[in-house]
Amino acid sequence: MNKPLKHVVAVLLGCFTILFVQLNRIQFYDADALIDNAANTRTIQRKFDVPRGLIVTADGVVAAESLDTPGGVFSRQRNYPQGNLYAHTVGYLSFNFGADGVERTYNDALIGATPGQELSGLTDLLDGEGNPIGNVVLNLDHELQQAAKAQLGERPGSVVALDPVTGAVKAMWSYPSFDPNRLAVNDGSVANEAWTELVEADGNPLRPRAYREIDFPGSTFKVITASAALERGIATMTQPEFEPAAEYVAPLTERPLTNFGGGTCGGNLTELLVVSCNTGFGKLAAELIGPGALSSEAEDFGFNQVPPLDLPDPAASRFPTDYGSLVAGPSEEIPAGVYEDTPLLAQAGIGQYDVQATPLQMALVAAAVSNGGRVPTAHVVDRIEDSVTLEVIDDVGPGAWRQAVDQDTAGQVAQAMVQVVERGSGRAAAVPGVVVGAKTGTAQLGTDPPRSHAWLIAFAGRPDGPPELAVAVLVEGQEGLDQTGGGAAAPIARALFERYFQ
Amino acid sequence: MRARSVELVLLILATFVTVVGFVTIGLVQAEAGDVNFDLRDDVTGFLLVVVGLLLGAHIMIRLFAPLADAMLFPCAALLNGLGYVMISRLDQGLADSQSAWTFMGVAAFCLVLLVLRDPRRLEPYRYTLAVVGVGLLLLPLVPGLGATINGARIWLRVGPFSIQPGEFAKVVLAAFLAGYLVDKRELLTLTGRRIGPLHVPHARHFGPLLLAWGVALMVMTAERDLGSSLLFFTLFVVMFYVATARAAYVFSGLVLFMAGAVLSWRMFSHVQRRVDIWLDPFADAKGSGFQIAEAAFALADGGLTGTGLGQGTPKKIPYAATDMIFAAFGEELGLLGASALLMTFMFFVAAGFRVATNARSPFEKLLAAGFTALIGFQAFIIIAGILRVLPLTGVTLPFVSYGGSSLISNYIILAVLMRISHNSTEQRAEELDEIERSGHSLNVSARARSDWKAVAR
């Protein structure tokens, strides 16, 4: 029986040889492909489970850090000591739900994977230090951010404050917000539960309203309409004078445009801005400026484009550009230069119809007006530092996005906005010893009971100095007619200015 | 007694490897803050237990099977030790039970050495063995006794323990086959008719065998234990071939197997699913192919040298401590460590078949061959399943996987192999002595002498 035994031995050893060959295939030849396989959660997990730098505010407050989690699925977990305060800027890092905010846009810097960091890691290879992971230093000011949160309270809305010259975002707060720690927990089922709850919650707390949600800007848009008229020589701050009127009926319609609270107003462009005169601006937009000029002015300020911002997926603000074709004229009823949708243009000129803007965009409008017409590039991050040596690895720095209007026009509009605060609808934004210019907006939503978005865009600086802060405040959908931009939004801006200039 | 010295050295090596693995995992887990690990106390305790167990068994071997093969026990000890280390890294609760099972396994090993002085005494009880074997297989199907775990009804619930009687049934049925085939092998080879190239034995002789085999296979299929069915089938073919030396049996066995495979593929959806997963586990890597895909990802992570013990994530592999433990080794010890594990099995199998080759009686020869084939093919079937060489069918990796029934039955196999090995060496020594004493030394060629010397060492 020994001969067949030998055959069995040979077969079995052959079987083991096959195993050895296949083992080599899987562990050696195919290993890279298996590691890159889309279903390989180990790879995803490994990428997730790497050391990660801090995110700190401009004044050194830690907004995001990594805590060691011994014995967990991952060796560390992201912690957000400020709770919901920076949820819409710093964002979150979650294994189940990915990342948002700075955690997403600056992921490479945080884990040391930018080309610069990798190069530096390569040269440091000899001393065995590896890639330097980066700490992200924000432009956001902790005190200003806290003030924005406290001022808005539990009203849905947004507050954006930025440096009009550099575009550095000093505060960006939206309510409702959420606690990113709930999504960052390593326990997937706990994170899942929190996610479901947040997705279903009223007001979508996960959404950063300040830069991803667009709303009717209302009368704050009149700053752009005024700029369009001034820039093209259609009007000056003193000419023409508009007849005082309680309503304006645009050509081709019978529906009148009325003033806020049913008032009567008129006068030159300065007066129209100071009292936020709908009838005057409606006529200016519809009959004097025209669709082409108003559209191109809105786009010069950044409408219909995604603004540059170092946060994920900012929304483009919207200004409708199609008003149909030119209607034959002039005749007795129809003046020259009227388009099929001219009545809508009258509404667009006062920030209604289908005009919609993010609070960030409106803050950029205020910034441009105060800064000689230059729209800055908004950025929440100031610089990346080496987490060990604290040397600056990367400086985000100031940036200009576009020139909206020339310096002259900007100066004139800014002057008028200062008067809005001195004697007009924006008096509640005034701060003693500080030059403040503002424009209010109250976008009625046509609901019953009446609800409206209360807006304020403003800038402020020391006398004879450059503008230092541009602000947009939006208090959304407040009930009651007293919830105007001047009443609900202006005090929030004033509180920020007071905090900033104290 | 030179064999025992070799065995002792190998055992010291196996102990060293096991303890180093234990220390590595303890230190890694302590560093991660998972456990308190006291280098002196914990290691001393573990070392004492390992040395105590192995030394105890070694002394038993010196007393009751001093002339047995030197490779078998150290290979088993190494596999068992490494398995325990990996199980403790995966699940401390399982490791605690596994240490209890190891004690029982070694105890069973000693007991068999002590009691079964002459395995040939089993030979007359072949039909009893058949009944016992099939009975053990049937036990889990008895309502109230059996339990279904992970889709297979192969468990017995006895108090807090779950026992797989099938693991013991394999041993008993292998013994039956050995006894039966030795009894009938001449009838099976010499009587009957030729049909073409095939030799068909008389149904009278062939019948009981086919019946036992059929019942076993049917029972296993009913219990949805595909791995054991495959293993038992392989065992049947191997023992038949060794007993009769007729390749035609292997050939017809293969044909039978193919037919059975195609038939069960057609009849059972769970068989079809296994085959689909085997052909492309990544088609549904998060669903049905999860187990194999995770094993492949673990092996890929391990690469050439592995992540290091305690430093991979083998807990992600389903059933990592039982069926899939080879993938956990591949991840943490790499291609090198996994190959070492394969080599250990090859050493064991080679030693086992050497025992069979040298066995003094046909029964012992067939029994040793069957037992060795059981261990060897069981290791092959599960590793091949993990590596996608065969469809994955759940069986344990002998001596390595978590599982009491498997461990104890493997130690019983080991003890019988050692006993057969000792007996054959002893008999040849006696024969040689007798020849030399009777002065007929001229009849003994120089070749036989040197053969004997090699064996005795």
Closest residue of chain B to A18, computed from CA coordinates: B389
pLDDT digits (tens, 9 = 90+) for B96-152: 999 999 999 999 999 999 999 899 999 999 899 989 988 888 888 888 777 777 777
Q: Which of the four pLDDT bands, split at 50, 70 and 90, describes residue B451?
A: low
Per the structure, the count of domains in chain B is 1
Closest residue of chain B to A33, computed from CA coordinates: B300
Give contacts of B300 with chain A, Cβ < 8 Å.
26-27, 30-32, 34-35, 40
For residue B172, give Cα distances in angstroms to A174, A366, B99, B184, B411: 74, 90, 25, 18, 14
Residues in chain A whose Cβ is within 8 Å of chain B: 1-9, 12-13, 15-16, 18-20, 22-24, 26-28, 30-32, 34-35, 37, 39-42, 45, 70-71, 75
B89 min Cα distance to partner chain A (Å): 13
Q: Give the pTM.
A: 0.67
A222, two tokens: 């009149």
Yes or no, beta carbons of A15 and B373 under 8 Å apart: no
Q: Exposed, middle or buried, B456 (CB in 10 Å: 0-12/13-18/19+)?
A: middle
pLDDT digits (tens, 9 = 90+) for B186-217: 877 777 677 766 666 776 766 766 776 777 67
Residue A66 confidence (pLDDT) above 60: yes
Give contacts of B349 with chain A, Cβ < 8 Å.
9, 12-13, 16
pLDDT of residue B223: 73
pLDDT of residue A317: 96
Q: How many residues does chain A have?
A: 502
The set of residues, in sequence order, having a beta carbon less than 8 Å from that of A10 and lying 6+ positions away, is: none
Integer-rounded Cα radius of gyration of chain A: 29
Yes or no, beta carbons of B342 and A19 under 8 Å apart: yes
Q: Answer yes or no: are the C-beta atoms of A4 and B369 closer than 8 Å.
A: no
Residue A326 confidence (pLDDT) above 90: no
Q: Which of the four pLDDT bands, split at 50, 70 and 90, describes residue A127?
A: low
pLDDT digits (tens, 9 = 90+) for A81-125: 999 999 999 999 988 888 899 999 999 899 888 888 877 777 665
Q: Measured between CB atoms, which of A19, A34, A70 is closest to B296? A: A34
pLDDT digits (tens, 9 = 90+) for B278-300: 888 888 877 788 899 999 999 99
Q: Measured between CB atoms, which of A22, A27, A37 is closest to B282? A: A37
pLDDT digits (tens, 9 = 90+) for A201-215: 998 999 999 999 999
Give contacts of B316 with chain A, Cβ < 8 Å.
41-42
Rounded-to-integer distance, Cα B422 and Cα B71, Å:
13
pLDDT digits (tens, 9 = 90+) for B439-448: 655 555 555 6
pLDDT digits (tens, 9 = 90+) for A387-420: 888 889 888 888 899 999 999 999 999 999 999 9
Yes or no, beta carbons of A34 and B330 under 8 Å apart: no
Per the DSSP assignment, residues forming a β-bridge with A374 are A403
Yes or no, beta carbons of A9 and B293 under 8 Å apart: no
Rounded-to-integer distance, Cα B369 and Cα B350, Å:
11
- For residue A145, the surrounding DSSP H or E stretch is helix A142-152
For residue A501, give Cα distances in angstroms to A171, A467, B426: 15, 12, 103
E-assigned strands of A26-96?
55-56, 62-68, 76-79, 92-94
Q: Answer yes or no: are the C-beta atoms of B227 and B274 closer than 8 Å.
A: no
Q: Which residue has the higher pLDDT, A477 or B18?
A: B18
In the set A94, A158, A219, A370, the catalytic residue is A219
A135, two tokens: 């700490």
pLDDT digits (tens, 9 = 90+) for B223-266: 777 788 888 888 988 998 899 888 777 787 778 778 877 888 88
Q: Which of the four pLDDT bands, split at 50, 70 and 90, describes residue A451?
A: confident
Residue A431 confidence (pLDDT) above 90: yes
Give contacts of B380 with chain A, Cβ < 8 Å.
12, 15-16, 19
pLDDT of residue B100: 93
- Helix axis angle for B362-386 and A2-24, nearest 10°, is 10
Q: Measured between CB atoms, which of A9, A31, A70 is closest to B300? A: A31
Q: Answer yes or no: are the C-beta atoms of A444 and A485 closer than 8 Å.
A: no
Closest residue of chain A to B294, computed from CA coordinates: A40
B392 min Cα distance to partner chain A (Å): 14
B7-23: average pLDDT? 95
Integer-rounded Cα radius of gyration of chain B: 23
The rounded percent of chain A whose pLDDT value lies above 90 is: 68
C-alpha atoms less than 13 angstroms from C-alpha of A29 in its C-beta half-sphere: 6
A380: closest CA among A62, A162, A112?
A: A162
Residue B31 confidence (pLDDT) above 80: no
pLDDT of residue A293: 93
pLDDT of residue A35: 87
Yes or no, beta carbons of A27 and B304 under 8 Å apart: yes
Residue B33 confidence (pLDDT) above 70: no
Rounded-to-integer distance, Cα A354 and Cα A435, Å:
33
pLDDT of residue B230: 84
Q: Answer yes or no: are the C-beta atoms of A57 and A142 closer than 8 Å.
A: yes
Rounded-to-integer distance, Cα B125 and Cα B179, Å:
8
What ranges do the domains of chain A cover?
A: 218-380+397-501
A209 min Cα distance to partner chain B (Å): 36
Q: Exposed, middle or buried, A5 (CB in 10 Å: 0-12/13-18/19+)?
A: buried
pLDDT of residue B229: 82
The rounded percent of chain A whose pLDDT value lies above 70 is: 97
Provide the number of CB pairs (under 8 Å) joining chain A to chain B: 125
Rounded-to-integer distance, Cα A323 and Cα B288, Å:
58
Yes or no, beta carbons of A35 and B334 under 8 Å apart: no
Q: Answer yes or no: are the C-beta atoms of A456 and A473 closer than 8 Å.
A: yes
pLDDT of residue B215: 73
Domain A218-380+397-501: give its CATH superfamily.
Answer: DD-peptidase/beta-lactamase superfamily (3.40.710.10)
Yes or no, beta carbons of A28 and B303 under 8 Å apart: yes
Is residue A396 helix, strand or coil?
coil
Q: How many residues does chain B have?
A: 457
pLDDT of residue B57: 96
Q: What is the DSSP string of B220-257?
A: HHHTT-HHHHHHHHHHHHHHHHHHH--HHHHHHHHHHH
Q: Which of the four pLDDT bands, split at 50, 70 and 90, describes residue A148?
A: very high
Give contacts of B303 with chain A, Cβ < 8 Å.
27-28, 31
Give contacts of A26 with chain B, Cβ < 8 Å.
296, 299-300, 330, 387-388
Q: Which residue has the higher pLDDT, B421 or A44?
A: B421
Residue B457 confidence (pLDDT) above 70: no
Residue A128 confidence (pLDDT) above 60: no
Q: Which of the four pLDDT bands, split at 50, 70 and 90, describes residue B311?
A: confident
B250 min Cα distance to partner chain A (Å): 11
Catalytic (active site) residue A276: no
Given the structure tokens 């050696």, which residue do they identify? A28
B143 min Cα distance to partner chain A (Å): 38
Closest residue of chain A to B338, computed from CA coordinates: A23
B314-326: average pLDDT? 92
Yes or no, beta carbons of A26 and B376 under 8 Å apart: no
Closest residue of chain B to A72, computed from CA coordinates: B34
The rounded percent of chain B whose pLDDT value lies above 70 is: 90
- Helix axis angle for B226-244 and A2-24, nearest 10°, is 140
The set of residues, in sequence order, having a beta carbon less than 8 Å from that of A449 and lying 6+ positions away, is: A479, A480
pLDDT digits (tens, 9 = 90+) for B380-434: 999 999 999 998 888 899 999 999 999 999 999 999 999 999 999 999 888 888 8
A463-477: average pLDDT? 94
Is residue B217 helix, strand or coil?
helix
Expressed as residue numbers, the domain containing B282 is 2-456
pLDDT digits (tens, 9 = 90+) for A157-197: 999 999 999 999 999 999 999 999 999 988 888 988 999 99
A7, two tokens: 């055959």
